[in-house]
Amino acid sequence: MSHFEYEAVIGLEVHAELKTASKIFCACRTDFGAPPNTQCCPICMGLPGALPRLNRHAVELAIRAGLALECEIAQRSKFDRKQYFYPDLPKAYQISQNKYPLCQNGRLRVSTPTGTREVRITRIHMEEDAGKLIHTSSETLIDYNRSGVGLIEIVSAPDLRSGEEASAYLRALRGILLTAGVSDCRMQEGSMRCDINLSLRKKGEESLGVRTEIKNVNSFAFAEKAINYEILRQKELIEAGETVESETRRFDASLGRTVRMRKKERAEDYRFLAECNLPVLRITQEDLEPIRASMPELPDARRVRLCKEYGIAEADASILTSEPALADYYEQSAKQSADPVRLAHLLLGELLRYCEGDPFRSPVAASRLAELVDLLSEGSINGTTAKRLLSRLTESDFSPREIAQSEGLMQIRDRDALREMIRTVLAESSKAVADYQSGKQAAFRSLQGRLMAISGGRADPVLGEELLLELLSQQACKKGERDV
Ligand code: ZN
Ligand code: MN
């Protein structure tokens, strides 16, 4: 058995569905969830004699992806036929781009647990999606609605080294494609999915080992798990003196491991041929200018700006910008609030939890969130009340300030009122008091908890703590006098 240190060499191929209303080579609609085979025509069904016509909007979106990923946009690119026989592919070939892709030589900066990494983007090419096979217990059905939907395939260089890095890359890529308006990136609907190429080599070596490909992984978590499993599997094979076979595998989420699908086709098995029914795609500077001019602020730049403009932490800004709609919402609300830092905490820490990570499922108007945050930062309500109000804000529309006033939720900061409550607490909790006086700190927290409870969660916690200490020390003095 050898005891080398191994390094994983990982490259990702991400397929993202272009956000066009119609398919890439015909006028059929692309709506998700339509009844099977209702969005098809002779072109996307591959009937003889039907001719493809390239969707201009699809090209624009692919160019946007290229610009967002700092690629060179080819002045001339070409379409090819990638041939294989499978029932989901009605023409028996997929129109794709082989030697002359639309975009090349880009990069994506990814922040990983071990620092920022730059991942090279080898190429982005355009292609069409295939149909969908539905396997029942007795037969296989086919839905051609997705056949001919426009895709881009984004191919990274083998620059990634771990499952964590790969999932960070995927998250960053998703944030960019969403921001640039290229794709919806709905992984659960299959509009973003990735193939993973992975091999191992001894640390310090330049040459690459035999790689396997894990196909069609449709969640970031699965990608990370699949990679970590595959690294272990290959390592065990190598250390046992066996060889890693070049093969295609898939990730079985229920088993938590990758399983073999088939031996790998070599590239020439696809017998690429030029797609003679489509002309060379020419992109001029005049085509590019308006697209370049309409590019939005991308997540990297936005993160830096959010930190500077609102004073929030880098980590919070990263989460916000990875989801452009969330960052939009934050900014809308932050502009109306006196405390954007607390707002970020409340939004990311609490609100997302009440609405299962999707603030747009049960929208809380940005202005109402700002109002709630301001009540909290000016000390009118405490954190407990804020959380309680926040969960109600997701259920119905109301003004946090009005509700806090009309329902008597405003924080109790009147010293005499608080002292009165504390006296009750101390009288009721002689055991905890005695414990505290004998030096048990935990007893103090239980007294604080009692104060919160009898104030209905409304006691100002800072003032409450101060007065609690004050009354306890007075008691200790009295007790001391008696003991003397
Ligand atoms: Zn069609
Ligand atoms: Mn592809």
Quote the pLDDT of residue 1.
46
Q: How far apart are CA 76 and CA 389, in angstroms?
A: 58
Q: How many whole angstroms from 60 Cα to the centroid of ligand 1?
A: 20
Q: How many whole angstroms from 27 Cα to the centroid of ligand 1?
A: 6
Q: Which ligand is nearest to the CA of 46?
A: 1
Q: How many whole angstroms from 411 Cα to the centroid of ligand 2?
A: 59
Half-sphere exposure of 145 toward its Cβ, with a 13 Å CA cutoff? 15
Q: How many whole angstroms from 9 Cα to the centroid of ligand 2?
A: 20
Quote the pLDDT of residue 337.
92
Q: How many whole angstroms from 34 Cα to the centroid of ligand 1?
A: 14
Q: Which ligand is nearest to the CA of 151?
A: 2
With a cut of 70, which residues of the chain have pLDDT below it? 1-3, 265-268, 354-362, 479-484
Q: How many whole angstroms from 45 Cα to the centroid of ligand 1?
A: 7
Q: Which ligand is nearest to the CA of 13?
A: 2
Quote the pLDDT of residue 359.
61
Q: Which ligand is nearest to the CA of 14?
A: 2
Q: How many whole angstroms from 457 Cα to the centroid of ligand 2?
A: 57
Per the structure block, which two tokens stand in for 224?
A: 């990370």
Strands 257-263, 192-202: parallel, antiparallel or unpaired by DSSP? unpaired
Q: How many whole angstroms from 255 Cα to the centroid of ligand 1?
A: 38
Q: How many whole angstroms from 288 Cα to the centroid of ligand 1?
A: 28
